[in-house]
Amino acid sequence: MTAILALVIASLAAWFGYSRTRDWSSHRLRYTRVAERPVAAGFVVGVGTSLLAAPVVALAPIVGAGTALALGVGVGTGLVRGVGGSRV
């Protein structure tokens, strides 16, 4: 039961990170240099998010490193898709 709850929390974190970052980046980063290389920026942002989330999830009793990785992947792909979808 705990494993299922941890999987649900990790999935929700990834979905929330993806959707919020995609919406934000499509509006705010449209005319910046990030739009020229969105994959590199998405990788950097995803790794940074995972590193920042790691101490937080280490303190939580149910979730673990997989949740931090899922959040990082969600934020990184959200940035790539948001900037990639707003090219002019």
Decide if 29 is inside a domain. no
Decide if 30 is inside a domain. no
Decide if 55 is inside a domain. yes
| Residue 7 pLDDT exceeds 80 | yes
* DSSP conformation letters of 20-83: HHHHHHHHHSTTSGGGGSHHHHHHHHHHHHHHHHHHHHHHSSS--HHHHHHHHHHHHHHHHHHH
| Residue 19 pLDDT exceeds 80 | yes
| Residue 87 pLDDT exceeds 60 | no
What domain range includes position 66? 2-24+35-85
Report helix, strand or coil for 1.
coil
Decide if 52 is inside a domain. yes
pLDDT band at 4 (very low <50, low <70, confident <90, very high): very high
- Name the percent of the chain lying above pLDDT 90: 60
pTM of this prediction? 0.87
Decide if 18 is inside a domain. yes
Decide if 49 is inside a domain. yes
Domains of the chain: total: 1
